[in-house]
Amino acid sequence: MSGQNMGAQTMDRAAAERFVAVWCANWCKVDIDAVVAHFADDAQMRSPLALSLTGSLVVTGAENIRAYWREAYGHVESADLKILSWSWDHVIARLTVWWQLGDTRASEFMDFDDAGRVVRSEAFYGK
């Protein structure tokens, strides 16, 4: 699976597992366009890091998410992102990923629409 959007597919556990692998690979390459390709046009992303760059905890719309990530991470050529664990809740179509990058640990959840695109994500950071 390349950095392309996974296409219109219903998310299930197997698709979620493939998504995690592609999502991690895209972030390791800091391929922001590939990461955003998984988002619905009207997606919302909530992150405490967004507040410092945008003045808001929530970034709305795939193009705004792309612009935020380009500003926040566009200077980085690669990242050694490690997936610690992940879980898929098929009832509410939510993927939760626990990851680490350097000393930073985070959990991130992503809610999916019927086409398998992220409609909402939220990141939580800690040690």
- Residue 50 in any domain: the answer is yes
pLDDT of residue 101 exceeding 60: yes
Residue 102 belongs to domain with CATH number: 3.10.450.50
- Residue 7 in any domain: the answer is no
- Residue 61 in any domain: the answer is yes
* DSSP SS3 for 10: coil
Mean pLDDT score of the chain: 90
Number of domains in the chain: 1
Domain range for residue 74? 13-126
Q: Which residues of 90-106 are buried (b: 16+ CB within 10 A; e: fewer)?
A: eeebbbbbebeeeeeeb
* Residue pointed to by tokens 């998310």: 11
- Residue 41 in any domain: the answer is yes
- Residue 2 in any domain: the answer is no
Which of 58, 121, 66, 65 minimizes the C-alpha distance to 93?
121
**DSSP codes of every residue in 16-50:** HHHHHHHHHHHHHTT-HHHHHTTEEEEEEEE-HHH
The reported pLDDT for the residue numbered 9 is: 56
- Residue 8 in any domain: the answer is no
- Residue 1 in any domain: the answer is no
d(CA 20, CA 107): 13
Region 17-38 average pLDDT = 96
Q: Range with the lowest mean pLDDT among 8-17, 23-32, 45-54, 63-72?
A: 8-17
- Residue 4 in any domain: the answer is no
Which of 44, 62, 64 minimizes the C-alpha distance to 54?
64
Write out the two tokens for 60.
Answer: 């709305």
- What's the pLDDT tens digit per position in 35-72? 999 999 999 999 998 998 899 999 999 999 999 999 98
Q: Identify the DSSP state of 65.
A: H
- What's the pLDDT tens digit per position in 78-98? 899 999 999 999 999 999 999
Bigger pLDDT: 126 vs 7: 126
* CA distances from residue 107 to 1, 21, 61, 87, 124 in whole angstroms, order as listed: 24, 16, 21, 11, 5
